[in-house]
Structure 1
Amino acid sequence: MQTSQDIAAALTRRAALAGVAVMVLTTVHHAIGAVVYRTPWRLHIALLAVPTIAVLLGALAVHRRRAGAPAGRAAFVVLAAVLALVPIAWIGAFEGLYNHVLKDALYFLAPRSPALLRLFPPPTYVMPDNAIFEITGVLQVVPAWVAATALARRSLGSRTARSSLIVRSNHDVPRVGEIR
């Protein structure tokens, strides 16, 4: 049987690695955009991705080694804050969900909609014309969602663990006339 500490450690690891996946995917996505649209400035994302990945992996390592100690708890706070701000909110929600999912949905479902040009004005935004660029943009949402759900489950874990123990303990009590 897994302990609540084992579950918390697994969720922390899943959230951190999903956050790393977001940063790798967004770097690939922006490199594709830099080549396709001849906009080398898009490569600036590597200046954000590399230190973000380093902080995520470093905080995960400290948290794993010193989970119960103040240093381990502080590492988790750093990990959670960086995950929430960069891979989840900035890249997953803004870059993936807004810049690609919403833009692509409006483009394909309502191509002449005034909202499309109002929300995604040229030249800041390019209308979908390269499948690989758009697919990699949309895919950023997937690991961001994995990171967000794992982080939320980990953060709410103590409450969930206590309630699941209560539910399980009720199932362990034999009913009248039941033989175990």
Structure 2
Amino acid sequence: MNYHRAFKPDLRLLIGSLVATISIYILTALHHAYGAWLYKTPWRLHILYHGLLLLLITGAFLLLYEWRKKKVFLYLYLAAAGLFFGGFIGVYEGIYNHLLKNILFFTGLSTANMHWLFPPSLYEMPNDWLFEITGVLQALFGLVQLHYLVKIFREINLSSNHNRIKTQEQ
């Protein structure tokens, strides 16, 4: 029995996941570059370099998985893509930093509470539609990417459980 084939996820899921991960990086890089220019905050450019490095590492895990056929590389890919691109960028950056901030701002939360949740030294209150829309889109892209990762993880576990049952029956 080819053990690799027993737990290899659907290639469409891997490609979808990788495309979503790359899309999150590109959107985030553009969003932060625009924010750095708009708000004269060059520190926002860090994501261009650190994010690219993490994207390359994440992609390397996927390539290593395809080349070496070792399940550990697939799990490293899922962890890196999920934690950084789906979790940090999609959930934290997209949902908290932009979606929640916009909802609270436009529903009239007091300035004091807004500044407590979103300190002015790190956050800008909504004042530029392009910056806010690209920020909120990070949430959407991140959720799509996490959806793919969860489907891959489930498929691997279902396959592993199925093979374990087959082995026990023999």
Tell me the TM-score range normalised by the shorter chain: 0.7 to 0.9
CA distance in 2, matches of 1:150, 1:81: 13
Q: Deviations over 1:68-111 (max 9, x none)?
A: x32xx122122111112210111111111100000011011124
Alignment of 1:91-106 (within 5 A): 91-106=89-104
Report the counterpart of residue 145 of structure 2 in structure 1: 147
Q: Count matched residues.
A: 157
**Structure 1 residues without counterparts, runs of 5 or longer:** 163-180
CA distance in 2, matches of 1:135, 1:7: 33
Contact 1:13–1:60 (Cα < 8 Å) also in 2: no
Query: Is the counterpart of residue 122 in structure 1 residue 134 in structure 2?
Result: no
**Structure 2 residues without counterparts, runs of 5 or longer:** 161-170
How far 1:41 moved relative to its partner? Answer: 1.4
Highest Rg: 1 or 2?
1
Contact 2:98–2:135 (Cα < 8 Å) also in 1: yes
More divergent stretch after superposition (27-36 vs 120-129): 120-129
CA distance in 1, matches of 2:151, 2:159: 10
Counterpart among 24, 43, 51 of residue 49 in structure 1: 51
Distance 1:159 1:74, change over 3 A: closer
CA distance in 2, matches of 1:80, 1:101: 25
More divergent stretch after superposition (16-25 vs 31-40): 16-25
Larger helix percent:
2
Residue type at the aligned position of 1:99: N
Contact 1:16–1:79 (Cα < 8 Å) also in 2: no
TM-score by length of 2: 0.81
Report the counterpart of residue 18 of structure 2 in structure 1: 16
How far 1:20 moved relative to its partner? Answer: 1.5
TM-score by length of 1: 0.77
CA distance in 2, matches of 1:158, 1:44: 34
Residue type at the aligned position of 2:44: R
Contact 2:94–2:137 (Cα < 8 Å) also in 1: yes
Contact 1:20–1:53 (Cα < 8 Å) also in 2: yes
Q: Deviations over 1:94-145 (max 9, x none)?
A: 1111000000110111243643222112132110011111111111112211
Report the counterpart of residue 39 of structure 1 in structure 2: 41
Secondary structure of 1:38's aligned partner: coil
- C-alpha RMSD of the superposition: 2.3
Report the counterpart of residue 82 of structure 2 in structure 1: 84
More divergent stretch after superposition (9-18 vs 141-150): 9-18
Contact 1:27–1:45 (Cα < 8 Å) also in 2: yes
Report the counterpart of residue 131 of structure 1 in structure 2: 129
CA distance in 2, matches of 1:156, 1:109: 38
Contact 1:92–1:145 (Cα < 8 Å) also in 2: yes
